[in-house]
Structure 1
Amino acid sequence: MSKTLFDKIWDAHVVTSSEGFPDVLYIDTQFIHEVTSPQAFDGLRKAGRKVLRPKQTVATADHNVPTWDQHLPIKEELSRYQVDMLGKNCKEFGIEFYGLGHPYQGIVHIIGPELGITRPGGTYVCGDSHTSTHGAFGAIAFGIGTSQVEQVLATQCLLQSRPKRMKIEVNGKLQFGVGAKDIILYIISQITAAGGTGYAVEYAGDTIRSLSMEGRMTICNMSIEMGARCGLIAPDETTFNYVKGREFAPKGEEWDKALAYWKTLYSDEDAQFDKVLSFKAEDIEPMITYGTNPGMGIGVTQHVPNTHDIDATEQLSYANSLKYMGLHDDQSMLGKEIDYVFIGSCTNARIEDLRQVANFLKGRKKADNVTVWVVPGSKQVEQQAIAEGLDKIFQAAGIPLREPGCSACLAMNEDKIPAGKYCVSTSNRNFEGRQGPNSRTFLASPLTAAAAAVTGKITDVRELLKEEELV
């Protein structure tokens, strides 16, 4: 019987299945951090339970950590308490903890792949929406609630209902200056922030296959922003080459055995999906959001939609969104002055993202009116960036390289965008107050963010790249 990639992995992990009930799904690895795990550990204590398989739990501090002076005690009391508690909980329950100062510390969805923990065919969960990132390896990965975090710690299993399956194909050649972040922002703008609700989404097509692993992770990372349960991409040579040789990847005969299985992980040619969508790469230009959810995005040369063109049932919330953002109908986004640029988060803080931004910044300086934060996604990314001299390029542009953490993605730490200020951000959410109370966020790619950093306004990066080509 023909199967989708999702069904092949799901079926291989079902422990028990009963008609009318959720499946009992085995989880290969659970990632935990300081925000959604404390109550789960408390639940274990109250019930007198242990962590069933501590070696299949990966813990790191990321959401609350400062991105300056990580060798000093955390200043914010709640942040310090949560990070300290995670360390104590891990020690008590026998879980290795990649805390501040550890060479493997970093954003949870960046360290899993770079350490070779995330692999094709696996099941991965975390008390964090953007766990879908790991699906880029041809895996099932999704966010869970705190009670479910406890459930997996205690049993290494999870009660889950099988979602519907959707395939999104993107084919063709991308325009110059357009990347993975633009692809996913474009898709979400076309199907809305609720367009994937109830689905596991497989991304396919020659445009997707042409992406690096970093680009694929960016795509899958934002699956949740269209309401999807998870996103995944069939593994191929790009995947295998990325995983091979990493710290916790299989070695020797184990590698050969794993690789043979991974090569079977693809949707059969006649596999049935509940929904199939197709997009042309040529239609995608550098994207920018203008509203307060990731579906409110347009090409950077386009204008803000007119309220009267929006569905009547959504016009009031749409108008409120524009009011919050200080924008108006039919406004051009080009030339809109901004105050901050944030390059980081689990969406775009990998070494490839930093390389791309550094290459663009060579010979350029940030605009005087803009504060720019470049935050690597992990200690390994930070050290690699320093080894390659990227920190010196950033410094020459007037931008210091900070230390790893979630930073201004969600402002649960010291990095907050002030009220009323505009930030072009490479993160994944532009909700009201997401980057700080009453802050205003424009989501964009690393290149578009870098262009805003040097011009002080929303800019079509292709124009700057054309100038660069002519030099």
Structure 2
Amino acid sequence: MSKTLVEKIWDAHVVKSEEGFPDILYIDTHLIHEVTSPQAFDGLRKRGLPVLRPKQTVATADHNVPTIDQHLPIKEELSRYQVDMLTKNCAEFGVELYGLGHPFQGIVHVIGPELGITLPGKTMVCGDSHTSTHGAFGAIAFGIGTSQVEQVLATQCLLQQKPKTMKIEVNGTLNAGVRAKDIILYIISKISAAGGTGYFIEYAGTAIQSLSMEARMTICNMSIEMGARGGLIAPDEITFEYVKGRRFAPQGEAWDKALAYWKTLYSDADAQFDSVLSFDAADIEPMITYGTNPGMGMGITQHIPATAAQPDSEQFSYQKALDYMGFKDDEPLLGKQVDYVFIGSCTNSRIEDLREVAEFVYGRQKAPNVEVWIVPGSKQVEKQAIEEGLDKVFEAAGFGLREPGCSACLGMNEDKIPAGKYCISTSNRNFEGRQGPNARTLLVSPLTAAAAAVTGQITDVRTLLNHPELA
């Protein structure tokens, strides 16, 4: 019987399936952090239960951590408390913790892949919606709630309804200045922030297959932003080459055995998807959001769509979003001054992202009206950036390379955007107050963010790429 990739992995992990009930799904790897785990550990404690399989649980501190002076006590009381509780809980229950000061510390969705914890064919969960990132390796990975975190800690299983499947194909060659972030923002702008609800999405097509692993992670990371349960990409030689030799990846004979299995992880040619969508890479230009959900995005040269053009049921919320952002119908965004540029988050904080930004800003200077934060996704990314001299390039441009953490992706730590200020951000969400109370967020790729950093305004990066004398 022909199967999709999702069905192959799902069926291989079903412990029990019964008509009319959710499947009992076995979870290979459980990632935890300081925000959604304290209540789960408390639940175990009250019930007198251990963590069933602590070696399949990996913890790190990321959401609440500062990105400056991490060697000092955390200033914010709640943040300090949550990080301290993670340390206490992991010690008590025997869970490996990559906390502040550990060479493997970082954003949970960055350290999993770079350490070789994330592997094809796995089921992976975390109390964080952007767990879909790990699907880039051909894994079923999705976010769970705190009560489910407790379930997995106690049983290594979850009750889950098998999702519907959607295939999204992107074929063709990407235009200059267009990156993975632009691809996913374009898709979401076309199908809306709810267009993937109820589905697990497989991304396919020549444009997707041409992407690096880090770019694929960016695509899968934002699957949740179209309402999907998760997203994944079939593993291939690019995947295998990335995984090989990483710290916790299989070695020797175990590698050969794993590789043979991974090569079977693809959707059969005649597999049936519940929905199939196709896009042409040539239609995508650098993207930017203008509203308060990731579906409110457009090509950077376009004008904001009119409120009257929206469905009647959405016009009130649409206008409310524009009012919050300080924008108007049919307004262009090119040339609009910005206040902050944030390059980081689990979407775009990997070494490839930092390299691209450094290459673009080399020899250039930050605009005087902009504050730029560059936040690596992990201590390993930070270390590599310093070894490659990227920190010196950033310093010369007037940028600051901070320490690893979720940072200004969300207002849960010290890195908040002030009220009313505009932030060009490489993160994944532009909700009201996401980066701080009344902060205004515009989502873009790292390359477009770098262009805004040096010009001080929303800029079509292609106008700079096309002028070698400005490079």
- State whether TM-score is above 0.5: yes
Residue aligned with 1:134, SS? helix
1:469 Cα deviation from its structure 2 partner: 6.7
The aligned runs of 1:6-405 (5 Å cut-off) are 6-405=6-405
Q: Deviations over 1:22-77 (max 9, x none)?
A: 00000000000000000000000000000000000000000000000001111111
> What amino acid is aligned across from residue 131 of structure 1 in structure 2?
T
Q: Deviations over 1:259-308 (max 9, x none)?
A: 00000000000000000000000000000000000000000000000111
Q: Distance in 2 between matches of 1:72 and 1:439?
A: 27
Is residue 449 of structure 1 aligned with residue 449 of structure 2?
yes
Q: Distance in 1 between matches of 2:144 and 2:468?
A: 45
Other-structure match for 2:434:
434
1:375 Cα deviation from its structure 2 partner: 0.1
TM-score, normalising length: structure 1: 1.00
- The number of aligned residues is 471
Q: Distance in 2 between matches of 1:29 and 1:470?
A: 47
Q: Deviations over 1:219-242 (max 9, x none)?
A: 000000000000000000000000
1:359 Cα deviation from its structure 2 partner: 0.2
Q: Distance in 2 between matches of 1:233 and 1:77?
A: 40
Contact in 1 for aligned 2:418/2:439 (Cα 8 Å) = yes
1:468 Cα deviation from its structure 2 partner: 2.4
1:213 Cα deviation from its structure 2 partner: 0.1
1:411 Cα deviation from its structure 2 partner: 1.7
1:96 Cα deviation from its structure 2 partner: 1.0
> What amino acid is aligned across from residue 278 of structure 2 in structure 1?
S
Contact in 1 for aligned 2:349/2:376 (Cα 8 Å) = yes
Other-structure match for 1:466:
466
Q: Distance in 1 between matches of 2:86 and 2:130?
A: 20
Contact in 1 for aligned 2:464/2:470 (Cα 8 Å) = no
Q: Distance in 1 between matches of 2:469 and 2:25?
A: 52
Q: Deviations over 1:301-350 (max 9, x none)?
A: 00000111111110011001000000000000100111000000000000
> What amino acid is aligned across from residue 49 of structure 1 in structure 2?
L
Q: Deviations over 1:377-405 (max 9, x none)?
A: 00000000000000000000001110000
Q: 1:470 to 1:150 in 2, by over 3 A?
A: closer
Other-structure match for 1:418:
418
TM-score, normalising length: structure 2: 1.00
Residue aligned with 1:120, SS? coil
Q: 1:86 to 1:284 in 2, by over 3 A?
A: same
Residue aligned with 2:369, SS? coil
Residue aligned with 1:258, SS? helix
> What amino acid is aligned across from residue 96 of structure 1 in structure 2?
E
Structure 1 runs, 4 residues or longer, greater than 2 Å off: 468-471
Q: 1:311 to 1:44 in 2, by over 3 A?
A: same
Q: Distance in 1 between matches of 2:240 and 2:468?
A: 35
Q: Distance in 2 between matches of 1:457 and 1:162?
A: 45
Residue aligned with 2:467, SS? helix
Q: Distance in 1 between matches of 2:96 and 2:293?
A: 36
> What amino acid is aligned across from residue 355 of structure 1 in structure 2?
R
Identical amino acids, percent of aligned pairs: 80
Q: Distance in 1 between matches of 2:223 and 2:119?
A: 19
Residue aligned with 1:357, SS? helix
1:470 Cα deviation from its structure 2 partner: 7.8
1:373 Cα deviation from its structure 2 partner: 0.2
Q: Distance in 2 between matches of 1:314 and 1:95?
A: 46
Q: Distance in 2 between matches of 1:217 and 1:67?
A: 23
Residue aligned with 1:383, SS? helix
> What amino acid is aligned across from residue 237 of structure 2 in structure 1?
E
Q: Deviations over 1:104-145 (max 9, x none)?
A: 000000000000000000000000000000000000000000
Q: Distance in 2 between matches of 1:53 and 1:470?
A: 55
Aligned-residue CA RMSD (Å)? 0.7
> What amino acid is aligned across from residue 53 of structure 1 in structure 2?
R
Q: Distance in 1 between matches of 2:333 and 2:92?
A: 52
Unaligned runs of 5+ residues in structure 2 are none
Q: Distance in 1 between matches of 2:25 and 2:381?
A: 33
Residue aligned with 1:435, SS? coil
Q: Distance in 2 between matches of 1:321 and 1:419?
A: 15
Q: Distance in 2 between matches of 1:315 and 1:229?
A: 27
Residue aligned with 1:366, SS? coil
